[in-house]
Structure 1
């Protein structure tokens, strides 16, 4: 276990530890709570990129880290989406959030199943998946902030980005399912 605890893994664990901190600020009736939750979310998003980069750069990639990283990502995203749906409580917010959470569950299950078949490489992260993640993080950040910036509605921009993320989510899911189907039927 000591070999699996390194700086990248600690960053991943930090991302998980930030979830209750984000929740506290989300529900705190403080005029700057939206700024605090946005900053916490973006710190978590940066650790998502940084932990993978450092693991490769420092050559300390571990099976535990490879397992924990996507789990931390999915927990953070699903948790914040649930908070946003609860706060907005509309079909316009619920629909893309449900698509994104449903895709995350589907692809996680697909990756586990493909790993059992020895075909995990067939469902590795794709470029579309990276675009989806970028759109998703931007959308969530804007929705958490929700105040206008220079006259531009961050809530509206965030919602538009959520729909873009949901479309990319479906596109990437179809790509993964196609790759898995091709691997299975070969």
Structure 2
């Protein structure tokens, strides 16, 4: 299997995950900036590998599989770090909504691919807006909830922590809406597959 540049960028993003965890807990004043910078670099590689694959037609089945895995792993680990750094019920709830939706939608996409209906659960515009809000939220929160950083860091007159907190809430709500849209798009196929399964079971009983 030949590894293309987009795939190498995706693998680099996965390698950044343990680095992010390590840097987040280092006992230095600059770790908040470094944690946010690592996550921001991962987000850039996410955009870059997609652009490179489209621009130079370097698509691969392995890359198509690995790219969403890398994205979900990075987001999940960042959320776990943030909840540990600021363990409040609401922060845990938003994180659980986002991670739970990703697991559910991934399972839905896999099932739809098995029955040849993957195209019905493509990423919609609201998903892209959700991703943007989520990236901004995680950048702000990684910067402001590091063990060595006070929550009072300011950007353009507003506390960075509160910007991230509100953006995470918005991202979680958009996550729920986009998840419902995915389910709505897949529902006819779900019903049809259930009908076919019932007919096959009935036929087996009759044949016996």
| TM-score normalised by structure 1 residue count | 0.96
> Is residue 157 from structure 1 mapped to residue 156 from structure 2 by the alignment?
no
Match of 1:24 in 2: 22
Shift of 1:125: 1.2
3-state SS of paired residue (1:8): helix
| TM-score normalised by structure 2 residue count | 0.86
C-alpha distance in 2, partners of 1:23/1:48? 19
Shift of 1:150: 4.1
C-alpha distance in 2, partners of 1:184/1:152? 46
Match of 1:177 in 2: 183
Mapping for residues 3-14 of structure 1, pairs under 5 Å: 5-14=3-12
C-alpha distance in 2, partners of 1:182/1:132? 25
8 Å CA contact 1:100–1:169 kept in 2: the answer is: yes
Match of 1:68 in 2: 66
The CA deviation string for residues 69-113 of structure 1, in whole angstroms up to 9 with x for no partner, is 000000000011011111111012111100000000000000001
Tell me whether 176-185 or 24-33 shows the greater mean CA deviation: 176-185
Unaligned stretches of 5+ residues in structure 2: 145-152, 193-208
C-alpha distance in 2, partners of 1:152/1:32? 21
Aligned residues: 184
Unaligned stretches of 5+ residues in structure 1: none
Across the aligned residues of Structure 1 and Structure 2, the Cα RMSD in angstroms comes to: 1.0
